[in-house]
Structure 1
Amino acid sequence: MRRVTFIAAAVSILATGCTLAPTYERPTAPVSPAFPNGGVYATQPGAAQGARSANDAAAVNIGWRAFFVDARLQRLIDIALKNNRDLRASVLNVQAAQAQYRIVRSELFPAINAQADQSRQRTPRNLSFLDQTISNTYSVGLNASWELDLFGRVQSLKDQALAQYFATAYARKAFEISLVSQVASQYLQVLQADDLLRVTEQTLKTARESYGIVKLQFDNGAASELDVSQSQTVVETASANYQAQQRARAQAVNALVLLLGEPLPDDLPPGMPLNEQDLLTDIPAGLPSDLLANRPDIMEAEQNLLAANANIGAARAAFFPRISLTGSFGTLSPTLGGLFKAGSAAWSFAPTITIPIFEGGENQANLDLANIQRNIQIAQYEKAIQSAFRDVADGLAARGTYDQQIQALERDTAAQQRRLDLSTMRYRQGVDSYLGVLTAQQDLYSAQQSLIVARTQRLANLVALYRALGGGWIERTGDAPRAADAPA
């Protein structure tokens, strides 16, 4: 009766998948319950007049084709998602983690193998029976082995492998979202380089025209050599900038090509200029708690924590006995022809129990290590939440200030253009020296460059905020979200 009770208890434990892993409790998020407000966060832009609106949809529910309306950029993102080698490697890492999980899970089940053996042995004559010094043994049968996981060691290892698989899948998801934003940001860098080149070309053209006029006046005695030198300075500065910006554009294109994983196709659709990129500006930030479900990097960190938690269960189980069952069933015969005759059946059953008695502190050290690794994963999980909080907070601070900054730069650029026109007029009328024209040209050029850079930074921040809120995983708004381990 006691034996029956023990067997029933063992079967019950195996059926419920009992482990010695500690009960998992999600750490409290070490951030404020709401994102900052007031100050630079207070003036969040809504949808401009006639512009597109997010209509209060969360970033995770907005497809990247809805966020980016530039057909050229959409095509580039599509190419990158198909050909980027880092993304391809991350997908293969998910498949590798899945295979590793299946390997560990297989240890929960009995291993059964078919086996056929033939052995030939010689015995000394003085030890042989009936002078038979040569003996043959043939066997065919099945071998089985199984570890009774009474204390959940294998179950804990399986749970650890499963959590690591999920962590790898979430890492792949985080990379894919990041890749979408990287392609968009690099595309904006190319557009910025185009705008800077156009401004520099116009500045160089104007400077050369001015230099020609001043040189002619100098030749006719109406201008000084100082005026000629000052005018030449603007030409040479713009020429140097033009070469540097050409180099920067070529390098920006090279970086974009690396993200795409293939050369730029010749049949790309026409793109939109930098100032016409109509990105969504009113995506709601939501609450920091939303990031726990929307940010794959946080979910990856939590799965790593779950894996470390399960590893404690395996380390604890090492202190308890391990019971293994091995057996075989088949036929055994001294001749090959007698293998399947009546009476040749053979079987064996060999249960084994291993009880740790002295291992030099190895099991305790493994348990201490497992606890330390869990504490490390707790710290990394909390850091992932804090980093995500900062990403969103930085994006909101930037989104609340870029529009006013750009408006001020646009007014400054217009004022600098007016100043250059007036300075040129006064110089030609002999009222002012050429130094006023030179200074106005340089200041206008700097203002134009600052305006282009600020416009690029504003758009790049909108892209970064979209990513920080978990956007970029689905292609079209309304699509059902793919699983993190879905094929590319």
Structure 2
Amino acid sequence: MMRPHHSLALLALLGGCAVGPDYKRPPLPASSGYAPTPLPSATPSQEQRFDSTRDIQADWWTLFRSPKLDALIAQALAASPDLTAAEAALRQAQENVAAQRGYFYPTIGASYMPQRTRIAGNLGGNSPGIQGNGEVISTYEGTPASEGGTPPYTRGVTYSFHTAQLTVGYTPDIFGANRRKVESLQAQSRAQALQLEAARLTLVTNIVAAAIQDGQLREQIALTETMITDQEVAAAIAAKQHRLGYISQVDRAVQDSALAEARKLLPPLRKQFEQNRNLMRALAGQPQDTEVAAFTLADFQLPQDLPLSLPSKLVEQRPDVRMAEERLHAATAGFGAARADLLPQVTLTGDVGGTASKFGQMFWNSGTFFDVFLTLTQSLFNGGTLKHQTRAARAAMEQSAAEYRATAITAFQDVANTLQAIHADAGAFTAAQDAAGSTGTSLTLVRRQHASGYLDRIALIAAEQSHRQALLDVAQARATRLGDTAALFQALGGGWWNRSDVRPSG
């Protein structure tokens, strides 16, 4: 026969184990870079250089050297409802962890039940009765009224009864079901903390992109308006020349068509500009009738020394990859909890209290009581519910493992795409600058010839239009390079781990 202390030792021993599996990070495809052939350590123009040993600073956007951008981002981080929602979701997840931890402890409940009872006097037997003078008698040997008895012995009696009780219940976590549930909720809480970091990174990157777009569109609109004005002059000259018979109707139509094409460019640009301004207000958490900072491309400097994390480090930095891993951890623990639910469940319950007809006598020796009992429960038949729930938990774990690998592979692709874009767009920017230099030289020569009378005004306007179009291309290429750089910081994780207010995991 097992002694009580042996039983307690067995419960303690069993309580030290938890049904598996224990979480282990699954392996990812081996990778040492972002291209089969190592990419150059600098862009073709040598303006930007990559350093695999360089960490990402938390406020990476300050590298663009734009105080207006810094102020707008600070405003957005303080006012964004998306971040407020993500913070509330994190608090909810943390409270769920704390709530689940409560199941490790016993439950204690207290109750007090006062009772007032009147027993009918015609019940007979030993029921209390009332004498004719109103005195209570403890026994009643008379005949009930229903059998022919006569008063006063048929009158009832009223008495009070008090019961106070303390109940303690405890469910030992013998097979670790609750530990697995806590482990799963902790992983979900960490995933929610990473979701907050991902939301913060997305918000900042979107603001940077919108600010760059604001500067680019302003420059495009200004150049397009100038081009339209010049084209209007050219069309007016062509109309006058046609009236005087110097050019044909076809030549005049060519100038009118060029004017119409130039005018057609402006409305879409203005629409895009205003919608981008609306986006900036929304990202900053402001209503649409407020103003936000105005930007030009000259407000931004292109960061020169860029970090480049290795793939093995990237999986630790990217919030989305870390989130996917925490979800896998949660699913693994959920599978363990489902397996533990298949095993017997043990519950210990104890009651202690007192009962008496008078409140002050409840805890006299004659009125106290207690009971202690253990319940062992094992499901024998449940229609396969637990079995299929366990299989579903296993499938969820396998799904999460595949999603983790897919997220990591996509993260590697994002960095590779961004690096290719930085290299290619640096070359495009150089080409655009060369083209602008060529059209600028051509415009200088045309102006000299026009001043000497060798070329008419329409030829001069055409040369000016060609140069302005080249300047538009330069502005677009410059904005693209700035956007590529912001995209690289985002693809590498944004440096959130270097912030002083990063919440601890758990």
TM-score normalised by the shorter chain: which range applies? Answer: 0.7 to 0.9
Distance 1:62 1:157 in 2: 34
Tell me the secondary structure at the aligned position of residue 327 of structure 1.
Answer: strand
Alignment correspondent of 1:290 = 313
State the 1:304 CA deviation. Answer: 0.7
Distance 1:481 1:391 in 2: 27
Q: How does 1:324-403 map to 2 (within 5 A)?
A: 324-341=347-364, 343-403=366-426
Q: How does 1:22-61 map to 2 (within 5 A)?
A: 22-30=21-29, 32-36=31-35, 38=37, 41-42=39-40, 44-45=42-43, 58-61=54-57
**1:207, 1:235 within 8 Å by CA — same for their partners in 2?**
yes
**1:31, 1:385 within 8 Å by CA — same for their partners in 2?**
no
Alignment correspondent of 1:247 = 271
Distance 1:394 1:234 in 2: 38
Q: 1:241 to 1:33 in 2, by over 3 A?
A: same
Gaps of 5+ in 1: none
Of structures 1 and 2, the larger Rg is shown by: 2
Q: How does 1:39-438 map to 2 (within 5 A)?
A: 41-42=39-40, 44-45=42-43, 58-120=54-116, 126=123, 129-131=126-128, 136-263=160-287, 271=295, 273-275=296-298, 277-341=300-364, 343-419=366-442
Q: How does 1:449-488 map to 2 (within 5 A)?
A: 449-473=472-496, 480=500, 482-483=502-503
Q: 1:188 to 1:159 in 2, by over 3 A?
A: same
Q: 1:455 to 1:31 in 2, by over 3 A?
A: farther
Which whole-Å deviations, capped at 9, do the CAs of 1:317-363 have from their partners, x for residues lacking one? 11211111122223222333533555432323232111121122112
**2:353, 2:369 within 8 Å by CA — same for their partners in 1?**
yes
Higher RCO (C-alpha 8 Å, min separation 6): 1
Query: Counterpart amino acid of 1:360?
Result: G
Distance 1:143 1:386 in 2: 55
**Percent of aligned positions that are identical:** 25
Which whole-Å deviations, capped at 9, do the CAs of 1:99-150 have from their partners, x for residues lacking one? 1111111111111122222345566754874247766432223222111111
Query: Counterpart amino acid of 1:71?
Result: P
Distance 2:448 2:302 in 1: 41
State the 1:434 CA deviation. Answer: 9.6
Query: Counterpart amino acid of 2:20?
Result: A
Alignment correspondent of 2:7 = 6
State the 1:205 CA deviation. Answer: 2.2
State the 1:84 CA deviation. Answer: 1.2
Q: 1:37 to 1:427 in 2, by over 3 A?
A: farther
- Equivalenced residues, count: 477
Which moved further from structure 2: 452-461 or 294-303?
Answer: 452-461
Q: CA RMSD in A?
A: 3.3
Distance 1:177 1:466 in 2: 9
Query: Counterpart amino acid of 2:7?
Result: F
Tell me the secondary structure at the aligned position of residue 433 of structure 2.
Answer: helix
Tell me the secondary structure at the aligned position of residue 348 of structure 1.
Answer: strand
State the 1:268 CA deviation. Answer: 6.6
Distance 2:237 2:318 in 1: 60
**2:52, 2:309 within 8 Å by CA — same for their partners in 1?**
no
Q: What is the TM-score with the length of structure 1 in the denominator?
A: 0.87
Q: 1:309 to 1:241 in 2, by over 3 A?
A: same
Alignment correspondent of 2:146 = none
**1:59, 1:466 within 8 Å by CA — same for their partners in 2?**
no
**2:53, 2:308 within 8 Å by CA — same for their partners in 1?**
no
**1:57, 1:283 within 8 Å by CA — same for their partners in 2?**
no
Which whole-Å deviations, capped at 9, do the CAs of 1:77-110 have from their partners, x for residues lacking one? 1111111111111111101111111111111111
Q: 1:406 to 1:43 in 2, by over 3 A?
A: farther
Query: Counterpart amino acid of 1:482?
Result: V
Q: 1:29 to 1:295 in 2, by over 3 A?
A: same
Gaps of 5+ in 2: 130-156
Tell me the secondary structure at the aligned position of residue 35 of structure 1.
Answer: coil
Which moved further from structure 2: 217-226 or 67-76?
Answer: 217-226
Distance 1:404 1:61 in 2: 27
Query: Counterpart amino acid of 2:240?
Result: L
Q: What is the TM-score with the length of structure 2 in the denominator?
A: 0.84
